[in-house]
Structure 1
């Protein structure tokens, strides 16, 4: 009986050993994974910046005189042309002031004419030695005073005429009107805190955003001695609030020459055409700036895995998966990495499922290629 138990144990041990050997043999068989041979190429990555949108002209309309609004000539949000009447301020007191000033001019003209006749007569009498130098000089002084009063009256008339013209407030630019916080009958003056209305030109819109000094240098790259660096900057795109890309591409047209001492940011302005009027002053959007990278290796993110904020791939060396750390560019398009170091042209890597592999796994399979711009 005891011998039978020993035999059974021997058989079981032999079976376990055979099973273990069979499993090890199976583990040594290559696992099928897609692989790719890396090569040098170029890619374009993107960085996004929050931006505020303004028209290339944004004008606050304020009165130049005091008075009651008697008429509002436009609707809120209306498209208006340069010279379009916007508001009319009570004209009655200014018409009266102009009439008074015009009458003063006529009175001064009459006094000048009288003083000139007197001075002419005195000169004739002086030539005949009828009057003294004093009387002649007095007459000439009276003429000069009358002419000065006429000039002052004419200036007052011009000022009154200008004030009357200011009662019709016109748009200085083509654009779109904002909201109107005042109603007919409101008393306004040049020192009002809130403008009568704002008019913004919408044919061309500016997107204002900020970047760090390092980001600006990455964007600019190597300066061109023949042209300014702004001319060499790439076209940018605009992502609207609904997440969609704006149809028109923009161009960086200005870069601030001053860096904010507190934030280290540099202000940038990009210009976008706005033929359909979809962009509005005061709105927010996201400027998408492309970064073109030449002479780099581009691999799919599926070919990588991360450990403690480090990125690794599996190279296929002599048919065996061998881990290797890589340094990807800090930007990516969500599906690919631009590799700055860790791989050389001609290396074969596992293209998919790297996170499921283990060091030393035998690899076999077809090839795959990274898809990039």
Structure 2
């Protein structure tokens, strides 16, 4: 019995000795390289976006001045037309008949004047009769001129250069000056106007950001704006904010602005929509790559490299984005070193090999072999 106890104790001692030997032989974990960036304050551009409705510089409704049937339509929807180009021809047969009757009245009045004039010259009749005949002649000429003008209104031409809109009426339709819908709309789209609105809070920020005693002075200090199209592409022409309504709409609580964009290729049309991007420059702010930020329970966090190249997570507060960066208003200071990639692989007190990123070209500056060996050796000692 005593022999068995001694044997058991001997086996336990041997196993414990082997375990310690294996434990001593296990290699210490080595530090891994991670890209890092040193925080420096810089200027950042933040874009404020507003939904915009696009209209041509001129949207002219084409309406008939006289009542008549549409005899001929010379254009089609979407067609580009020039100023003075023929658009519609209205049937004016009734007006032509009225014009013939009015012209006959002019001739009759002229004959009466011609008959009375020699009689007045010979003092056979009084001058009053001649003046009365002249007045009737003038009245007849006026009536004829009015009808002749109306006949001319039956030929409708474009008042501006532009693009033809919809054509709600067809040949044979009866139209008049009181018709609810116009014959068409001609839009001059060489210059496109983008209308957008700001609410009271946005307007207050706008007025604080862009200095000036008058609206004109404020608008002069506003930088060029860009336009995002419905496919999320950016329009290749920059625009300028040219007007701002001086009053706030009491119903909507908004103020309307107008920006203008050149449209040399006719890409934009009246009725389009888009998004105005207004750049706001924020000076001396802290920016960090969006890839460096992660969320925990709704809070934005980032890993900061501390002593011994060990990382610690910190809560940060951001205020918008600038390109692919967050603008940080609290939680980081100039000179802090942050991990910009691979946050999901880290936890507090993890030791890393920092690889500094060059901000100018976004390339990492790799550590030398000596630095890696030195860091790993330090980790092995610990």
TM-score, with structure 1 as normaliser: 0.82
Deviating more after overlay: 207-216 vs 227-236: 207-216
Deviating more after overlay: 269-278 vs 90-99: 90-99
Q: CA 1:36 to 1:103, structure 2 compared with 1: closer, same or farther past 3 Å?
A: same
Alpha-carbon separation, structure 1, partners of 2:98 and 2:12: 126
Q: Deviations over 1:113-169 (max 9, x none)?
A: 6666666766xx9xxxxxxxxx97xx64x5554444344333322211210110101
Deviating more after overlay: 335-344 vs 98-107: 98-107
Deviation (angstroms), 1:317? 2.7
Task: Report the aligned-residue RMSD.
Answer: 3.3
> What is the SS of the residue equivalent to 1:258?
coil
Unaligned runs of 5+ in 1: 126-134
Q: Deviations over 1:54-77 (max 9, x none)?
A: 211112211111111111122332
Deviating more after overlay: 274-283 vs 47-56: 47-56
Deviation (angstroms), 1:11? 6.0
Equivalent residue for 2:79? 78
Given that 2:286 and 2:327 are in contact with CA atoms closer than 8 Å, whether structure 1 keeps it comes out as yes
Equivalent residue for 2:267? 278
Match of 2:304 among 304, 307, 315: 315
Q: Does 1:215 align with 2:216?
A: no
> What is the SS of the residue equivalent to 1:56?
strand
Q: CA 1:318 to 1:168, structure 2 compared with 1: closer, same or farther past 3 Å?
A: same
Deviation (angstroms), 1:247? 1.9
Q: Does 1:33 align with 2:34?
A: yes
> What is the SS of the residue equivalent to 2:53?
strand
Deviating more after overlay: 89-98 vs 363-372: 363-372
Q: Does 1:163 align with 2:150?
A: yes
Alpha-carbon separation, structure 2, partners of 1:19 and 1:209: 73
Equivalent residue for 2:376? none
Deviation (angstroms), 1:318? 2.1
Deviation (angstroms), 1:40? 1.4
> What is the SS of the residue equivalent to 1:33?
strand
Equivalent residue for 2:379? none
Equivalent residue for 2:320? 330
Equivalent residue for 1:95? 96
Alpha-carbon separation, structure 1, partners of 2:283 and 2:228: 26
Matches within 5 A, 1:55-204: 55-112=56-113, 140=128, 142=129, 145-204=132-191
> What is the SS of the residue equivalent to 1:58?
strand
Match of 2:212 among 216, 224, 234: 224
Deviation (angstroms), 1:53? 2.0
Deviation (angstroms), 1:50? 2.9
> What is the SS of the residue equivalent to 2:257?
strand
Unaligned runs of 5+ in 2: 363-382
Alpha-carbon separation, structure 1, partners of 2:65 and 2:205: 48
Q: CA 1:346 to 1:115, structure 2 compared with 1: closer, same or farther past 3 Å?
A: farther
> What is the SS of the residue equivalent to 2:142?
helix
Equivalent residue for 1:130? none
The aligned length equals 356
Match of 1:241 among 222, 230, 235: 230
Deviating more after overlay: 296-305 vs 92-101: 92-101
TM-score, with structure 2 as normaliser: 0.80
Q: Deviations over 1:167-191 (max 9, x none)?
A: 1011111111123232222222222
Q: CA 1:369 to 1:96, structure 2 compared with 1: closer, same or farther past 3 Å?
A: same
